[in-house]
Amino acid sequence: MSSLLPRIILCLDVKDGRVVKGTNFVNLRDMGDPVELAIEYEKQGADELVFLDISASNEKRPTALKLVTDIASHLSIPFTVGGGLKKLDDVKAFLDAGADKVALNTTAVLDPDIIDQTAKAYGSQCVVVAIDVNQEDEGLNYYINGGRKRVEGDFFNWTQQVAQRGAGEILLTAMHRDGTGLGFDTELTRKVSESVPVQVIASGGAKTEQHFLTAFEGGADACLAAGMFHSGDYQVDQVKQFLQDQGLKVRL
Amino acid sequence: MTKKLLIIDTLAGNLFSLQAAAQRLGFEVDICQSPNDIIYDALVIPGQGRFASVVNQLKKQGWDSYLKNAHEHGLPMLGICVGMQIFFEASDEDPEVTGFAWFKGKAKALDFPKKPMVGWAELDSRDSIFAGKIVYFVNSFAVDQADESVATTEYGQNFCAAVKRGAFYGVQFHPEKSSQAGLQMMANILLPENQGELKSEENNHV
């Protein structure tokens, strides 16, 4: 028995100190100040936030670290940073700056020891391994470099390996659902969630409140979304109220 | 008069969230690695690091007698996560190290397939500070049973989510990461004479 409640996690893409929105990294649109948006989403009832690409380039590292400390000082919910963390030193710098967790994707694939090292130095709760997986004709394949490079290897083996190495959570993005508005890949989330000894965050495809209900009922421990909230189509508390009305207990 | 809060730095991680939460409650915050002679209005033992390293660091700096003395004088105190567990006898995390043993019992590995426990859970409590509140947990270990437990929750098993003796509170969750509910709890525990009234101007954005 677990009394953990389903979590709704908001994802914010950060570029040059601003939150941006765009489709496949083109037509980036300025959404506003990360700290202000973070506070707004906490108010709306987001359970956690993820800031992506906040650290993408090395030369802007000091500014990015300052931003992370700024977020930590204004937010009273947990937040994760990810994107561009290449070495253990990067990971340490961002955790020391105030991030609760780091999300590792490409780096984890290229140098899996970084999962073990981060877990050992800071604890598994600080390590989220993000996996971008795509449903293709020949089966499930996973990708690095922002979905551009396919990894030679078995997807389910990789999910097992990251858990064994000490990841505290897996952020599972279904690339074949991303941006489609068709909802989370619930079947895939369930399969992974049932087979690994860590929590699984479903990501990719959310457009309506029903998608969250389906994913949570299907075994997701948490759901991550961006567009439907950034667009203003939904407020987080609206989705949570819907879940509550459907009999799912959430933090309201 | 501005109230002064002491946060003990156990060298186990950043304290930005905790410091910010305390400042939002109106506290002037000192973060100290070793005891000093300043009179504080309240004290927090943060929730980062391993059981052994936190116990050893506190003992090395002489905090054990300081904390005992402060507690006897009724100083409002809050131990968070591992900062709560160290006041028990031991932990499975580091069995060779003895805790401060203010409370009987020990922290044991949570018996649940998915670890660590990460996320929000509702507290089962009859204490108005905790009853029905939803707070953020991040832990692989927890005290399964404590005589002075005032709140519990469940993850594979029922465990002690909060313990209280006099003005000392230990909590297994992270109030500094638990949004408004957590801030209100910190106010109730650390500012008992204000009956936990939050300063509205500092707090209006959360």
Catalytic residue among B71, B81, B93, B160: B81
pLDDT reported for residue A58: 67
Quick check: A133 and A188 in contact, CB under 8 A? Answer: yes
Strand partners, A80: A50, A101
- Cα(B127)–Cα(B125) distance, integer angstroms: 5
What's residue A60's pLDDT? 77
pLDDT computed for residue B203 by the predictor: 45
Query: Do residues A142 and A134 touch, judged by C-beta distance below 8 A?
Result: yes
Name the stretches of chain A with pLDDT < 70: 22-27, 55-59
Q: What is the pTM of this model?
A: 0.94
For residue B200, pLDDT over 50 is answered with no
- Interface check for B21 against chain A (CB to CB < 8 A): the answer is yes
By the 8 A CB rule, do A110 and A88 touch? no
Q: State pLDDT tens for residues B45-82.
A: 999 999 999 999 999 999 999 999 999 999 999 999 99
- For the beta carbon of residue B187, count every other beta carbon within 10 angstroms: 25
Q: CB distance B112–A2 less than 8 Å? A: yes
Query: Is residue B202 flagged as an active site residue?
Result: no
Nearest residue in A to B203, CA atom = A74
One of A47, A90, A132, A178 is an active-site residue; which one?
A132
Is B183 near chain A, with CB under 8 Å? Answer: yes
How far is residue A10's CA from residue A209's CA, in Å, rounded to a whole number? 14
Residue B199 has pLDDT above 60, yes or no: no
Q: Tell whether B116 lies on the interface with A, counting CB pairs under 8 A.
A: yes
State yes or no: is B160 an active-site residue: no
Closest by Cα among B166, B177, B195 to B118: B177
Determine contact: B115 vs chain A, CB below 8 A.
yes
Residues in chain B: 206
From chain B, pick out residues whose CB is under 8 angstroms from the CB of A75. Answer: 17
Per the CB < 8 Å rule, is B14 touching A74? no
Could you give the ipTM of this predicted complex?
Answer: 0.94
**What pLDDT is recorded for position A55?**
62
Sequence-ordered list of residues with C-beta below 8 angstroms from that of B180, at least 6 positions apart, any chain: A76, B206
Distance from the Cα of A64 to chain B's closest Cα (Å) equals 16
Of A7, A76, A122, the CB nearest to B182: A76
Question: In sequence order, what E strands does B16-156 have?
Answer: 28-32, 42-45, 77-80, 90-91, 106-109, 117-122, 124-125, 134-139, 141-143, 149-155
Structural contact between residues A184 and A177, judged by C-beta atoms closer than 8 angstroms? yes
- Is B176 catalytic? The answer is yes
